[in-house]
């Protein structure tokens, strides 16, 4: 084993050795040379072996020490203020974790680090975020048994170590794990030493991520290229920063969980798969808005080989709109089974139900009764965008009757239209969110959709999945498209 090297002290204020000098005697009071700063980086108490100065010199030195201490405190507060301001601007969980890593690296004087997010309640979301570490590097660290990883025992709640002293535990009250010299440290798992050598780090400093709630969210680790460890001042500043960062991370975790729950419920309210019906091929694409909207789609097999096609959406966003969407879609399915051959009757029944059960809402809907063998579709719409017919010889919007959305009038009724499609033609049903996400006026958005369908229809052949993918990519690929829009997007294709 190589000769032991004393660990360096890493950070923004490394300690300095006091200069060797002598002061010439003087009859007049003069300020004596300031001693070197202690390891924590701020001026503090010290002892001097010089002759005892007079009262004036002692006063000047005391004032200078107080001034240095105040300047140090102001600098620390300014640094923490700047770092927390950057943290507050992080909008997502991953951005928050990355910002926490960067700020911690600045505070403890490291270049690389990682955060292992593993909430103890088991509800996730699990994350492994690296700073200066690639996916392969993180993968190598993850191959270590959790007890051997630099953060593992923090995730386990710092269980008591085995017999004998453990040099990694510097302060049990602070619950931190410090490996100041991994190549020379006794008792370290050889696998940990091997991964550290492969990735090129020689020291690590790990602390837990936790809030006032007793459950831990995870652990943060910063890695040093050479043997080193943070100073007492750096540990104190990092602790103050992580107290704020952990609260922000906890809020982002709660938000991510809520969004995931809403998305799961919403997806479960929509068909998990499209049915197989002779004479027609189906494809659908659905994108949920940032706040979760109330758009739906449905494909329902009906008696005698018929098919019910519907798209629509309720006003509003969030969980209440999603719940209303689920109720309306379920009701529409029931009415379609009973009166599917008459789309006007289906939407009339749905409108009556809305006035009785959802008086504060309105909704747009389009329902079509399709007979694939005859390539015949009877469509009725309530304030919804007209379908688009795409084929080798035409690409045009169907001329449906203009009508008000459901819930807007005391009694809704509008005539239906009958469409006859040629062999190889595709009927596209879509939500108005597809048009709104373009950021253009509606007339230009309609023209954009038609042009995208025309180009796609000529290039993808008879594959409806390729058709909807190309239409979406073309319509939403422009820089004006708002990818973070609250608008849902639904695009349903039925090729006869």
Domain ranges of the chain: 84-263, 271-495
- Please state, in angstroms and rounded to a whole number, the distance separating the CA atoms of residues 308 and 299: 6
Is residue 316 left, alpha or beta, with left meaning phi > 0 and alpha meaning psi from -120 to 50? left
Whole-model pTM: value is: 0.62
The whole-angstrom separation of Cα 438 and Cα 452 is 12
User: Residue 125: left (phi > 0), alpha (psi -120 to 50), or beta?
Assistant: beta
- As given in the structure block, the two tokens for residue 100 are 């926490």
Task: Decide the pairing of beta strands 228-230 and 8-10.
Answer: parallel
For residue 282, list its beta bridge partners. 494
pLDDT on residue 42: 55
Q: Alpha-carbon distance 317 to 74, whole Å? A: 46
CA distance linking residue 200 with residue 220, whole number of Å: 18
Q: What is the CATH number of domain 271-495?
A: 3.60.40.10
Q: Which long-range contacts (CB under 8 A, 24 or more apart) does 439-448 make?
A: 439/480, 439/481, 439/482, 440/480, 446/397, 448/475
Fold match flag (84-263 vs 271-495) = no
Q: What is residue 39's predicted lDDT score, i.e. its pLDDT?
A: 38
Determine the Cα–Cα distance for residues 258 and 253; give it in Å rounded to an integer.
9
> Residue 373: phi, psi to the nearest 5?
-60, -40
The series of mean pLDDT values per 10 residues for the chain, 496 residues long, is 49 43 39 37 46 72 82 87 92 93 94 90 86 92 85 69 44 72 89 92 92 81 94 92 92 88 79 87 86 84 93 86 89 92 92 88 93 93 92 89 80 84 93 88 92 86 89 78 70 93
Q: What homologous superfamily does CATH list for 84-263? A: GAF domain (3.30.450.40)
Instruction: For residue 465, give the nearest of 455, 456, 452 by alpha carbon.
Output: 456
pLDDT number for residue 318 = 78
Q: How many Cβ atoms sit within 10 Å of the Cβ of residue 177? A: 22
Residue pair 8/187 in contact (Cβ under 8 Å)? The answer is no
Contact predicate 219/208, CB 8 Å: yes
The pLDDT, as a whole number, for residue 464 is: 92
pLDDT value at residue 26: 40
Q: How far apart are CA 209 and CA 207, in angstroms?
A: 7
Q: Name the nearest CA neighbour of 349 among 334, 327, 359, 361.
A: 334
Count of C-beta atoms within a 10 Å radius of residue 432:
20
């Amino acid at each position: 084993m190589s000769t032991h090297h004393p660990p360096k002290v890493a950070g923004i204020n490394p300690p300095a050795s006091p200069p060797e000098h002598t002061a010439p005697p003087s009859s007049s009071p003069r300020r004596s040379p300031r001693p070197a700063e202690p390891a924590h980086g701020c001026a503090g108490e010290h002892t001097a072996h010089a002759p005892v100065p007079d009262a004036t010199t002692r006063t000047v030195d005391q004032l200078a020490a107080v001034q240095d201490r105040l300047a140090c405190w102001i600098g620390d507060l300014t640094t923490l203020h700047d770092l927390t301001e950057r943290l507050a601007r992080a909008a997502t969980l991953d951005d928050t974790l990355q910002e926490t890593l960067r700020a911690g690296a600045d505070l403890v004087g490291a270049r690389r680090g990682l955060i292992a997010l593993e909430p103890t309640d088991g509800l996730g979301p699990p994350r492994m975020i690296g700073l200066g570490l690639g996916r392969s590097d993180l993968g190598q660290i993850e191959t270590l048994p959790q007890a051997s990883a630099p953060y593992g025992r923090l995730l386990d709640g710092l269980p008591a170590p085995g017999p004998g002293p453990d040099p990694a535990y510097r302060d049990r009250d602070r619950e931190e794990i410090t490996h100041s010299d991994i190549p020379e440290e006794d008792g370290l798992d050889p696998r940990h030493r091997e991964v550290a050598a492969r990735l090129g780090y020689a020291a690590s400093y790990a602390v837990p991520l936790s809030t006032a709630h007793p459950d831990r969210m995870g652990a943060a680790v910063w890695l040093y290229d050479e043997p080193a460890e943070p100073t007492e001042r750096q540990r104190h500043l990092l602790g103050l920063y992580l107290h704020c960062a952990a609260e922000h991370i906890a809020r982002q975790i709660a938000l991510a969980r809520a969004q995931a729950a809403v998305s799961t419920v919403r997806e479960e309210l929509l068909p998990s798969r499209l049915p197989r019906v002779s004479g027609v091929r189906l494809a659908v694409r659905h994108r949920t808005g940032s706040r979760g909207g109330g758009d739906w789609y449905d494909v329902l097999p009906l008696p005698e080989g018929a098919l019910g096609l519907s798209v629509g959406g309720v006003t509003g966003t969030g969980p209440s709109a999603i719940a209303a969407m689920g109720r309306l879609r379920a009701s529409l399915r029931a009415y379609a089974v009973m009166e599917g051959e008459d789309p006007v009757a289906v939407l009339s029944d749905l409108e009556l139900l809305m006035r009785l059960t959802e008086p504060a809402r309105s909704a747009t809907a389009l329902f079509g009764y399709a007979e694939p063998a005859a390539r015949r579709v009877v469509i009725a719409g309530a304030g919804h965008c007209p379908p688009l017919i795409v084929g080798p010889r035409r690409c045009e919007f169907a001329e449906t009757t203009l009508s008000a959305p459901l819930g807007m009038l005391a009694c809704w009724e509008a005539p239906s239209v009958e469409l006859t499609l040629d062999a190889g033609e595709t009927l596209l049903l879509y939500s108005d969110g597809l048009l709104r996400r373009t950021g253009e006026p509606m007339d230009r958005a309609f023209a954009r959709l038609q042009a995208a369908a025309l180009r796609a229809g000529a290039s993808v052949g008879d594959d409806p999945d390729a058709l909807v993918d190309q239409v979406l990519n073309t319509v939403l690929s422009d820089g004006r498209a708002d990818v973070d829009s609250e608008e849902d997007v639904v695009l349903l294709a039925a090729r006869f």
